[in-house]
A and B are shown apart, each in its own frame.
Chain A
Amino acid sequence: MNDILTTFGLDWGKFIAQCIVVLVVYAILAKYAFKPVLAMLDERRSRIEAGERNLKQVEEDMAKAEERVQALLDEANKGAERLIAEARESSEALRSQKSQEAINEAQTIIEKAREASRLEHQTAMNELKRDFGHLVIEATSKVTGKVLDEGDQKRINEETAGQVAL
């Protein structure tokens, strides 16, 4: 066995020296290469995962916000439609009320005008009768040459008014 190992150049001193080389490479690579690189890979992986989580959260938040906006829009639309309907009903009622008031007012104005016309007509007729009575009295006194007293004038007036009354 020793001969075989010697043939292949195996030697304790050289073997231990090579062991030390291997251990030094192992220790230094483990500390200064693998550790920082694996830590960096872990950090990058965790950042990517956090980014993905955040992205998912943002997407969920956006979806929720869109749903909220849509709900608000729907509610606003319903409110607007309700307000428009109410306004329409209200304007219809107001228009009807105002129309009725206008009709009533017009009716009142017509009634008043009619009353005023009637009174004016009455006044005019009275004045006409009085003027016509004066004319009859004056004509009678000129035709007859007689000065008419108050009793005659009153009688002629009443007869004239009775004849003129329509």
Chain B
Amino acid sequence: MDLHLPMISLNSLSPLIAAGGLNAPELPSLAWFTNSIFVALIVMVGVLLFTRMATRNMKLIPDGKQNFVELVIEFLYNQVEGIVGKHVAPKAFPLLATIFIFVVVANWFGMVPGVGTIGWGQTSGPLTISYMETPLLRPATADLNMTLALAVVFMFVWLWISVAELGVKGTFLHIFGPKGGLKGVLMWALMPIFIFVGLIEVISIVFRPMSLSLRLFGNVYAGETLLATMQGLGATLGFPGWLSAITSVVFPLPFYFLEILIGALQATVFALLCAVYIKLSTSHDDH
């Protein structure tokens, strides 16, 4: 049996103005304002409003929102400090915490009913579509532009922290210099190997933004597709209308819990890898 499972289109990243319909006119000056950017803005405003409300009138004895925000920030700071060390933590923490909070909220926002599932596509009946082409709202982290933006911004901050910590010469030596405190003839004899290892290190650094962004994008996009597939599975398998309506709710339900876990896990992995990259580039060899 040839099954055509419903899924999210990779080309669903559409300018929001064009989201008015497949044939809606595109405005070139607003081409950047996509459904994904719109969700990113909603997440941004939500996060900023909440934190602002929590930190506007801070009290020594916290309550409510302030307590929650302090709990999260203190927990994240301790984790970052544990990885990058006390000295680098104040510089690295703001970006790493921003990445974690933004990514986890954006991931979970993708599970809000309607995000990625309401839009325009091939219709299979009144108010139903079998193939989503232009969702009204698309999860921000299911957009490679967003995940790559996160990774690139991180790489610039990573470079600044590394150079601030070790200096230009120190950073260069850290990558290409001899390791393990070697001196004398042995050091010079092994220098070609160290330079070769340094080149490999540079290549791995160059590919870090891609690996970071594609990992997050792939997981979130796959999660969205999984949920969409589960929602339409009943109809695909030829269940009667009333049964496929029930299965469209029941089938995706376990996967929502899975996606909650994956959303947090991917945010943790992204932030954790960033922290490890900072730790690797700022650790002194003589320590």
Query: In the bound complex, do residue B13 and residue A34 qualify as a contact, i.e. CB atoms below 8 Å apart?
Result: no
For B14, give the chain A residue with the smallest CB separation: A9
Verify if B77 is at the interface (C-beta below 8 Å from A).
Answer: yes
Which of these, A7, A18, A19, A44, contacts B143 with CB under 8 Å?
A: A18
| CB-contacts of A19-43 with B (<8 A) | 19, 21-26, 28-30, 32-34, 36-38, 40-41, 43
Verify if A143 is at the interface (C-beta below 8 Å from B).
Answer: no
Whole-angstrom distance between the alpha carbons of A26 and B99 in the complex?
8
Closest 10 CB pairs of A and B: A18-B149, A30-B94, A9-B13, A33-B51, A13-B32, A19-B149, A14-B145, A17-B32, A18-B146, A15-B145
Verify if B237 is at the interface (C-beta below 8 Å from A).
Answer: no
Query: In the bound complex, do residue A25 and residue B48 qualify as a contact, i.e. CB atoms below 8 Å apart?
Result: yes
Given contacts A8-B217, A15-B148, A29-B48, contact A34 B60 (CB under 8 A): no
Query: In the bound complex, do residue A21 and residue B148 qualify as a contact, i.e. CB atoms below 8 Å apart?
Result: no
Given contacts A19-B153, A26-B153, A38-B73, contact A14 B51 (CB under 8 A): no
Whole-angstrom distance between the alpha carbons of A36 and B54 in the complex?
10
Whole-angstrom distance between the alpha carbons of A22 and B69 in the complex?
20
Interface centre among A9, A11, A19, A47 (most CB of B within 10 A): A9
1/0 per residue, CB under 8 A from A, across B92-115: the answer is 011101100110000000000000
How many residue pairs link A and B with beta carbons under 8 A? The number is: 118
- In this complex, how many residues of chain A approach chain B with their Cβ under 8 Å: the count is 33
Given contacts A25-B98, A30-B94, contact A36 B11 (CB under 8 A): no
Whole-angstrom distance between the alpha carbons of A132 and B282 in the complex?
147
Whole-angstrom distance between the alpha carbons of A5 and B31 in the complex?
17
Whole-angstrom distance between the alpha carbons of A9 and B54 in the complex?
36
Query: In the bound complex, do residue B148 and residue A10 qualify as a contact, i.e. CB atoms below 8 Å apart?
Result: yes
For B95, give the chain A residue with the smallest CB separation: A26
| CB-contacts of B20-71 with A (<8 A) | 31-34, 36-37, 40-41, 44, 47-48, 51-52, 54-55, 58, 60, 62, 69-70
| Distance between A96 CB and nearest chain B CB, rounded to angstroms | 76
Verify if B10 is at the interface (C-beta below 8 Å from A).
Answer: yes
Verify if A16 is at the interface (C-beta below 8 Å from B).
Answer: yes
List 14 additional contacts besides A10-B144, A15-B145; criterion CB under 8 Å: A8-B217, A10-B145, A14-B34, A14-B36, A16-B32, A18-B145, A22-B150, A22-B153, A25-B48, A32-B51, A33-B51, A33-B73, A34-B73, A37-B69
22 contacts between A and B (CB under 8 A): A7-B10, A9-B10, A9-B144, A11-B31, A11-B32, A15-B145, A17-B145, A18-B150, A21-B40, A22-B146, A23-B153, A25-B44, A25-B48, A29-B51, A29-B98, A33-B55, A33-B73, A34-B93, A34-B97, A37-B55, A41-B70, A47-B60
